[in-house]
Chains A and B, each alone.
Chain A
């Protein structure tokens, strides 16, 4: 079946470096994607979203890139900080409301 998934389950990054988290999706009809950050014991926290008519969107220290040709989504975090340690999920919006999540990437920031 079609699903949203992440390339790597874990990512270790040095504090101050840039992080790149990847996500592959297979539903070519998806038109909206969201990145969430989930800390232990908390719910998913909205980071940034992107519509399928865009290739790139920037927020505060984060950039999302969308490559529809290869159905790939990435989240870049600039100058990674200890507070960025969490599980990151990409989610695909299906049926105009239903979010489909991948399994997540656990990011650990080394001091």
Chain B
């Protein structure tokens, strides 16, 4: 598609439930990123993929967070046993090259996750 697409746009879950957030990057983009954005803050890095390889997951808050990109295109961010502190906007971004200093990342509109 023309831009990064994320679904669902909004997700409400009860504490303890598992959730899965989907990202469709810009077609042909090698690199894919997940960020977490708390209310009133800038996005915080979670994880980075180059094609299907997850090269950096240092930003994932806990082992309840898991991301995958099995075919090097669509990515899913999964959160198990959700907690209230997981409530945030989850942003996906992609860029055209790997090893990619000096390449802008293009963002989707995010999934707003609310944990009750």
Contacts and interface: CB of A to CB of B under 8 A. Distances in A.
A15 to B, nearest CB: 25
A101 B40 contact: no
A93 B6 CA distance: 23
A95 B48 CA distance: 11
Interface string B3-41: 010100000000000000000000000010101000011
Contact of A100 (B45, B107, B108, B110): B45
Nearest to A46: B104
Contacts of A46: 104-107
Contacts of B72: none
Secondary structure call for the A interface: strand
A95 B43 CA distance: 17
B102 A93 contact: yes
Contacts of B44: 101
Given A45-B107, A97-B33, A89 B102 contact: no
Contacts of B4: 43
B91 interface: yes
Contacts of B68: none
Contact of A31 (B93, B101, B109): B101
Given A31-B101, A49-B104, A96-B100, A102 B42 contact: yes
B32 to A, nearest CB: 11
Interface in B88-116: 91, 93, 99-102, 104-110
B87 to A, nearest CB: 16
Interface in A41-95: 41-46, 49, 51, 89, 91, 93, 95
Nearest to B98: A97
Given A34-B105, A93-B102, 14 more contacts: A32-B102, A34-B104, A36-B107, A42-B109, A44-B91, A46-B104, A89-B42, A91-B42, A96-B99, A96-B101, A97-B33, A99-B33, A99-B45, A104-B41
